[in-house]
Amino acid sequence: MSAQTAVATRGLSKRYGHVTAVDGLDLDVRRGEIYGFLGRNGAGKTTTIRMLLGLIRPSAGDVEVLGRRIVPGETAAFRGVGYLVETATAYPNLTVRENLEIQRRLTGSQTGAVAEAIALLRLDEYADRRAGQLSLGNKQRLALARALLHSPELLVLDEPGNALDPAGIVEIRDLLRRLSAEQGVTVFMSSHILSEVAHLADRIGIVHEGRLIEECPRDELAAKARAFSTQALTEQERADALLTMDLERYFLMRTGGER
Ligand code: ATP
């Protein structure tokens, strides 16, 4: 694995009985890039992410994260990693600030880290509310704040847009872009929604039935998609797509989100 690589997998596979959830995956995520791992429900995204994080044991293949081989149960490799996997969990009876303070102590981060994370995720208004009383979107923000608290080099995010409204998605997108551009943080994020990664990822990998069926820079994928859609889309489909885009913009404008 080269020093420029943040995540590498070779022949990574996971089988559950007769189901092959991940099938011989070779991934190379470069340091500093935003990598969009795109696939439909059941494509194998969460299973892959769990293996990247050493949460489950692969049936075959290898994973390296930030230059270290991942062995389930060993935590040393994850000091530089922040992650958000599926449903966000927090101590429901503790406040946002208290939840973050626990995370700060667990990760040995500096005292100012809690206030910084609260500001970064725009949680100021909710800092003294119990986590259990937050909306789903704000729970997701809290989970991201926890993932970011120790200033990780690599962020692994499973469907970070889940539970966020369109303005929240735009906000998180801007935050990830800033982290990548200003602090060189590598982002590996999964999504089943193309538009979520289309605006953000430098490179996109498409996973289908556990296999990587396409991987290229975002702009290249966009060019392919454009060529395809000129042939394949009907007038009606094109009009529907434009309408959705216009409505989303208008909705964001009326509700204070920026584009
Ligand atoms: P989603 O977007 O719906 O979360 P995904 O791309 O994350 O989908 P996975 O959750 O990785 O997909 O699932 C891939 C396949 O593996 C699915 O067919 C799923 O049913 C199966 N699978 C996942 N976990 C298990 C498990 N613990 N036991 C049996 N089958 C599983």
How do residues 202-259 score in pLDDT, each as one tens digit? Answer: 999 999 999 999 999 988 888 887 776 666 677 888 788 788 878 877 877 787 755 4
pLDDT of residue 87: 63
> What percent of the chain shows pLDDT beyond 70?
95
Per-residue pLDDT tens digits for 59-81? 999 999 999 998 877 777 788 99
Q: Which two tokens stand for residue 173?
A: 């997108």
Q: How far is 149 from 156, CA to CA, in rounded Å? A: 14
> What is the rounded average pLDDT of the residues 162-178?
84
Taking the centre of ligand 1 as the mean of its atom positions, its distance from the CA of residue 51, in whole angstroms, is 12
pLDDT of residue 123: 94
Between residues 229 and 50, the one the model is more confident about: 50
C-alpha distances in angstroms, 121 versus 24, 96, 110, 147, 214? 36, 11, 18, 11, 33
* Mutation choice for ligand 1 from 45, 57, 159, CB with most ligand atoms inside 8 A: 45
Taking the centre of ligand 1 as the mean of its atom positions, its distance from the CA of residue 108, in whole angstroms, is 34
C-alpha distances in angstroms, 212 versus 11, 24, 117? 11, 9, 34
pLDDT of residue 251: 77
For residue 17, the ligand 1 atom closest to its alpha carbon is 29
Bridge partners of 20?
15
Contact residues of ligand 1, CB 6 A cut-off: 16, 19, 21, 39, 41-47, 192
Is residue 63 within 8 Å of 12, Cβ to Cβ? yes
Tell me which amino acid residue 247 is. L
11 has pLDDT over 90: yes
pLDDT of residue 257: 58
Check residue 95 and report its DSSP letter: B
Taking the centre of ligand 1 as the mean of its atom positions, its distance from the CA of residue 21, in whole angstroms, is 6
Domains, the chain, ranges and CATH? 5-254 (3.40.50.300)
Map residue 15 onto helix, strand or coil.
strand
Taking the centre of ligand 1 as the mean of its atom positions, its distance from the CA of residue 42, in whole angstroms, is 5
* CA neighbor of 163 nearest in space, from 138, 126, 189: 138
pLDDT of residue 1: 62
Is residue 154 within 8 Å of 81, Cβ to Cβ? yes
Region of poorest pLDDT, from 14-18, 186-190, 217-221: 217-221
For residue 44, the ligand 1 atom closest to its alpha carbon is 11
Reported as a pLDDT band with limits 50, 70 and 90, residue 142 is very high
